[in-house]
């Protein structure tokens, strides 16, 4: 049995919404040095680092299907079980290109009490996006603010 072929068949298209979301979670785990053997699909939070819980959300302008225009960016924020939300926006068509991602880290308590948040309201709360390499220091800054 060729498990690598199954993984490629099942999850090879990183641009597909379901796979892109899992890839974004994996990227955050990698950036923060969080080691886990498997992803747990329905866990209450997406990551825990030094006692700080994270909810990781992803969106993209380009989808895996044919589009007539870029997608409108909206993130779901209804769960509210984590201390922080990490918003991940893919700006191109290559999820493996780290420079194609933009990130925002926001304390859950700073988010409005609603089901979703668009990109402009997110920027109004969180400011300008950060790059992948800045994630560890931004998470640490939020940890220090909450202590």
Q: 146: pLDDT confidence band, cut at 50, 70 and 90?
A: confident
Strand partners for 48: 53
How far apart CA 48 and CA 18 sit, in angstroms, is 21
How far apart CA 87 and CA 119 sit, in angstroms, is 10
Angle between helices 17-32 and 135-146 (to 10 degrees): 70
Q: What would the CATH number be for the domain defined by 3-146? A: 3.40.210
Q: 3: pLDDT confidence band, cut at 50, 70 and 90?
A: confident
Q: Enumerate the domain spans of the chain.
A: 3-146
pTM of the model: 0.94
């Amino acid at each position: 049995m060729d498990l690598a072929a199954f993984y490629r068949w099942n999850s090879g298209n990183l641009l597909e919404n379901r796979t892109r979301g899992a890839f974004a979670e994996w990227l955050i785990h990698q950036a923060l040095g969080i080691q886990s053997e498997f992803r747990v699909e329905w866990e209450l939070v997406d990551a825990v680092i030094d006692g700080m819980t994270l909810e990781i959300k992803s969106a993209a302008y380009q989808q895996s299907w044919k589009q007539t225009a870029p997608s409108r960016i909206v993130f779901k924020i209804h769960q509210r079980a984590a201390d922080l939300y990490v918003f991940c926006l893919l700006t191109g068509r290559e999820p493996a290109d780290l420079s194609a991602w933009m990130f925002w880290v926001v304390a859950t308590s700073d988010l409005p009490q609603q089901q979703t948040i668009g990109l402009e309201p997110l920027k109004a709360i969180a400011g300008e996006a950060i790059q992948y390499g800045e994630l560890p220091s931004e998470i640490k800054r939020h940890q220090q603010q909450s202590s």
